[in-house]
């Protein structure tokens, strides 16, 4: 029985395609987050009571905002780790037979990698702004639409606010996980 050996070029192409798929997943995660937040906000508005005496369980509904934000953080973390792993693998392939010394090497040359990381930070900033805004809107909608039901000292308000702040901090910290080429 003969063993098949896969050429490094095919491995590079496969890893590069996987890298592009992961980048697309990051964009899809943002789209999913926006869709969830808009749906939650629409439900908050649609459940507006006709009278102050009518009680709607918005405390449960508003917890969807922190859940969506935490899921976005977890998805971004997972994707960032996958991107870093794939780019490390591509860098190893770029270094085969000292090819990085003769050819431009996107994943091996720090000037290319640092530029890519700086550009990708805008995704993290966008995600952080969306999370901060969605949590502020959620708390604002609670206070405005349900003033008799939810007070500023309500635990759900503090929970939404604290998880929002934590998610923003995590998303702004995420660039520290970005791929950095190993020094040759």
Query: If 0-12 CB within 10 Å is exposed, 13-18 middle and 19+ buried, where does residue 71 land?
Result: middle
Q: What is the pLDDT of residue 1?
A: 47
Q: Which helix (H) or strand (E) holds 180?
A: none
Distance CA 124, CA 128 (A): 6
Q: Which helix (H) or strand (E) holds 158?
A: helix 155-173
pTM above 0.85? yes
Query: HSE (CB half, 13 Å, CA atoms) of 81?
Result: 5
Q: What is the pLDDT of residue 170?
A: 97
The model's pLDDT over 38-68, given as tens digits with 9 standing for 90+, comes to: 999 999 999 887 776 777 788 889 999 999 9
The model's pLDDT over 11-42, given as tens digits with 9 standing for 90+, comes to: 889 999 999 999 999 999 999 999 999 999 99
- Check whether 108 has a pLDDT greater than 70: yes
How many Å from the N-terminal Cα to the C-terminal Cα in the chain? 38
Percentage of residues in the chain having pLDDT higher than 90: 52
The model's pLDDT over 125-180, given as tens digits with 9 standing for 90+, comes to: 999 999 999 999 999 998 888 887 777 678 888 999 999 999 999 999 998 888 88
Distance CA 84, CA 94 (A): 15
Percentage of residues in the chain having pLDDT higher than 70: 93
**Please, what is the Cα angle at 30 between 127 and 138, to 5 degrees?**
65
The size of the chain, in residues, is 184
Chain center to CA of 149: 33
């Amino acid at each position: 029985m003969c063993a098949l050996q896969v050429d490094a070029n095919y491995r590079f192409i496969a890893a590069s395609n996987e890298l592009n798929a992961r980048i697309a997943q990051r964009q899809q995660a943002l789209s999913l987050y926006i869709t969830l937040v808009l749906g939650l906000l629409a439900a908050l508005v649609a459940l507006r009571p006709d009278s102050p005496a009518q009680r709607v369980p918005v405390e449960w509904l508003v917890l969807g905002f922190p859940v969506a934000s935490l899921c976005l953080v977890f998805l971004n973390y997972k994707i960032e780790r996958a991107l870093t792993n794939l780019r490390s693998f591509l860098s190893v392939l770029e270094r085969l037979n000292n090819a990085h010394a003769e050819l431009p090497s996107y994943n091996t040359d720090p000037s290319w990698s640092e530029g890519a990381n700086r550009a990708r930070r805008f995704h993290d900033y966008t995600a952080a702004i969306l999370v901060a805004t969605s949590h502020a809107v959620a708390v604002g909608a609670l206070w405005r639409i349900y003033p008799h039901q939810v007070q500023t000292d309500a635990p759900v308000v503090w929970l939404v606010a604290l998880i929002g702040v934590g998610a923003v901090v995590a998303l702004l910290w995420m660039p520290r996980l970005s791929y950095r080429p190993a020094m040759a």
